[in-house]
Amino acid sequence: MTRVNTMGSLEETCASLRAQISATEEQLAGLKRDLASAEAHSVCENQSDEQRWPLLQEEYKRYGRQMIVSQIGLQGQLKLRSAKVLLVGAGGLGCPAAQYLAGAGVGTIGLIDGDTVEVSNLHRQVLHRTANVGKYKVDSAIESLRDLNPHPTYIAHRTHLTPNEAPAIFQDYDIILDCTDNPATRYLISDTAVLCGKPLVSASALRTEGQLMVLNNPLEHQGTRPEDHVIDAVVSCADGGIIGPVVGTMGVLQALEAIKVITTPEPAEGTTRPRDPPSLHIFSAYSSPLVRTIRLRSRRANCAVCSAEATVSLDTIRSGSTDYVFFCGSANLPSLLSPEERISAREYNQRQSVPSESHTVIDVRDEAQFGICSLENSINIPISTVLASNSARPTEQAAQLPSWVPSELATDSTHPIYVVCRLGNDSQIVVKKMKDLGLDQHGKRFIGDIRGGFKSWKDQVDPEWPEY
């Protein structure tokens, strides 16, 4: 009897919920009809206003504080509204840049990025939210931008920029912002912008420093490839680290430079803009002054893109014959050690659990990373310290060894030495360095690295190991 009553109660609950859903759907349909009617009425009113005023009444309120600045004015605001800006990258640089361009009233904002939002992005990529982890970055960013300003047209390119597609995409925009941290993509962006005649605002950021420059503005100043001026670090934010406000500052400066390019009045008829060469602005968060400016040389007479001897064209870019990945070098570091000189994280864990097998673990991450997490009894020797030491092979006397070599290693002991880092690249370098110093005693002592570093340690041994 109790079971019958329970089943009856569940059926009543389901019926009640269905009725509520039906009523809610009917109410939603009514609201949609009301919204469509209100929007149609608003369009009619706006069309009437536009006959008298070039901006909507809401736009005057929204951009008023900006328009009363003499460098902008009404004409500058109209230029912003008609401008089309493409941001390549919707990460640490692209988020603040897009945010301020949307706030300023740029009419069309395109975002191109094939990545999805990760938790590790959130401390610096300010358009993304925790709820959007897993979404395409461009979709997450546009969602926030629409909340900020519904007036611009937002275009999502859910892909990584490719040579085949880059020229066609760039042609639809007036100005390009390079918000990437990939050297090969930077060359692709630079060359395509030059050949398409588009001004380019390029920035980079790593750790506590950033760099910024504007190229192809005015367009007669084409040239200045990244190969001439190092504007990006080979190390990405994921590997080298970054303080959020540093990359945010560079992204905001990109937006500012783009606004300047868009709103700067055209020179009077018969005159030209000043032909000063571009400048490289270097930001350093822990230095005084915060910003230094370096004047860059003009384009080279034999520039591969914009000179009479040019070897790069839109056709070579589209066809793929200009291989940017090959030109910049492979992103995957080759293995420096033989398989016999490396062990897996799982194998090391098994060895270190045997009490009778004494050994030494050298952690070559920097001090900050070592402070986040480390293996018990490991010794921290940052790779920067190792590389800064004299590379010459010493004599057999321990006193001749570099100062970074711990005293317990400068003995005749044959206890093995294991070297570990974050991803398994730096550890290989240090293993070779230690062998060059003769610490392996001509092969009597094993010196090797833990393959894959702490990433493999988390995957194979300790799933609770902090991931940063």
Q: How confident is the model at residue 255 (pLDDT cuts 50, 70, 90)?
A: very high
Evaluate the omega torsion of the peptide bond into residue 199 and state whether it is cis, within 30 degrees of 0: no
- Read off the pLDDT of each residue in 170-198 and give the average, rounded to a whole number: 95
Terminal Cα-to-Cα distance of the chain (whole angstroms):
58
> Residue 50 above 80 pLDDT?
no
Q: Which positions are annotated as active-site residues?
A: 237, 421
> Residue 99 above 80 pLDDT?
yes
The pLDDT tens digits of the residues spanning 386-443 come to 998 764 444 444 457 899 999 888 888 899 999 999 999 999 999 999 999 999 998 9
Query: Which residues on adjacent β-strands are paired with residue 176?
Result: 86, 200
- Residue 460 confidence (pLDDT): 97
Binding residue positions for Zn(2+): 303, 306
How does DSSP classify residue 122? T
- Residue 14 confidence (pLDDT): 76
Cα 436 to Cα 432: distance, rounded to the nearest angstrom: 6
Quick one: how many helices (H) and strands (E) in the chain? 16, 13
Q: Which residues of 411-426 are buried (b: 16+ CB within 10 A; e: fewer)?
A: eeeeebbbbbbbebbb
The pLDDT tens digits of the residues spanning 275-316 come to 667 899 999 999 999 999 998 877 777 788 877 778 889 999
- Residue 306 confidence (pLDDT): 76
Q: φ and ψ at 281, to 5 degrees?
A: -100, 125
Percent of the chain's residues with pLDDT above 70:
83
The closest alpha carbon to 285, from 324, 320, 243, belongs to: 243
> Residue 227 above 60 pLDDT?
no
- Residue 334 confidence (pLDDT): 64
The mean-pLDDT minimum among 14-23, 199-208, 333-342 falls in 14-23
Q: How confident is the model at residue 237 (pLDDT cuts 50, 70, 90)?
A: low
The closest alpha carbon to 187, from 308, 319, 325, belongs to: 325
Cα 83 to Cα 262: distance, rounded to the nearest angstrom: 7
Binding residue positions: 92, 113, 120-124, 137, 181-182, 303, 306
> Residue 41 above 80 pLDDT?
no
Supply the mean pLDDT for the chain: 86
The pLDDT tens digits of the residues spanning 349-382 come to 999 888 778 999 999 999 999 999 999 999 999 9
Q: How confident is the model at residue 30 (pLDDT cuts 50, 70, 90)?
A: low
Whether residue 96 contacts residue 251, with contact meaning beta carbons closer than 8 Å, is answered with: yes
- Residue 230 confidence (pLDDT): 42
Cα 174 to Cα 178: distance, rounded to the nearest angstrom: 14
- Residue 309 confidence (pLDDT): 74
- Residue 229 confidence (pLDDT): 43
Whether residue 461 contacts residue 344, with contact meaning beta carbons closer than 8 Å, is answered with: no
Cα 205 to Cα 245: distance, rounded to the nearest angstrom: 10
The pLDDT tens digits of the residues spanning 126-158 come to 999 999 999 999 999 999 999 999 999 999 999
Orientation of helix 73-82 relative to helix 244-263, angle to 10°: 110
Between 288 and 46, name the one with better pLDDT.
Answer: 288
Between 41 and 84, name the one with better pLDDT.
Answer: 84
Binding residue positions for ATP: 92, 113, 120-124, 137, 181-182
- Residue 4 confidence (pLDDT): 46
User: Which residues are CB-contacts of 133 (< 8 A; sequence separation ≥ 6)?
Assistant: 116, 117, 118, 119, 122
* pTM of the full structure: 0.75
Q: φ and ψ at 283, to 5 degrees?
A: -105, 135
The closest alpha carbon to 418, from 356, 343, 368, 365, belongs to: 343
- Residue 234 confidence (pLDDT): 47
- Read off the pLDDT of each residue in 40-65 and give the average, rounded to a whole number: 76
Cα 260 to Cα 100: distance, rounded to the nearest angstrom: 13
Whether residue 231 contacts residue 202, with contact meaning beta carbons closer than 8 Å, is answered with: yes
> Residue 232 above 50 pLDDT?
no
The mean-pLDDT minimum among 120-129, 196-205, 210-219, 432-441 falls in 210-219
The closest alpha carbon to 109, from 207, 255, 11, 212, belongs to: 255
Alpha helices in 337-381 (DSSP H): 345-352, 367-372
Whether residue 364 contacts residue 430, with contact meaning beta carbons closer than 8 Å, is answered with: yes
- Read off the pLDDT of each residue in 159-163 and give the average, rounded to a whole number: 96
- Read off the pLDDT of each residue in 255-261 and give the average, rounded to a whole number: 98
The closest alpha carbon to 88, from 173, 194, 209, 208, belongs to: 173
- Residue 392 confidence (pLDDT): 46
> Residue 214 above 70 pLDDT?
yes
Cα→Cα distances 260→41, 71, 286, 464, Å: 36, 9, 27, 49
